[in-house]
Amino acid sequence: MALASCSCEIVWVRNLALELGFPQQPTTVYEDNTGCIALANHMHLRGRSTHITLRVCFIQKLIQDGLINVKQCPTAAQTADIGTQALPRVPLENFTDQLLGDKHVGDK
């Protein structure tokens, strides 16, 4: 569901960039769910995944058209988690350092 939502946003932003004259290159989307990546790349829908068929077909079409590339990224490396969920102290500090650099506001 999140990959489909992200893909919709990517299509919108790509269309805007095209109107502004920016060159078009495939957009890489990092996903930590290997099952989601397998569905997007291989379209093996089973009885338990038929409710998301339209979304999977949409993602598959974007991949086939060369608009997006879906790559696996381990959960521990998902920097975006800092804005989407409560994190334990160590991952929170690591992601903060990655986003703001080693020295950020509040450091002495």
Tens of pLDDT, residue by residue over 87-100, are 788 888 888 888 88
Q: What does residue 62 show for φ and ψ, rounded to 5 degrees? A: -65, -40
pLDDT, position 99: 82
Res. 65 pLDDT band, cuts 50 70 90:
very high
Global pTM reads 0.69
pLDDT, position 27: 94
The DSSP-derived string for 5-57 is: HHHHHHHHHHHHHHHTTPPP-PEEEEES-HHHHHHHHH----GGGGGGHHHHH
pLDDT, position 108: 47
Where b means 16+ CB within 10 Å and e means fewer, 72-89 reads ebeeeebeebbeeeeeee
Q: Are 92 and 81 in contact (CB under 8 A)?
A: no
Half-sphere exposure of 92 (CA within 13 A, CB side): 7
Residue showing tokens 């450091």 = 107
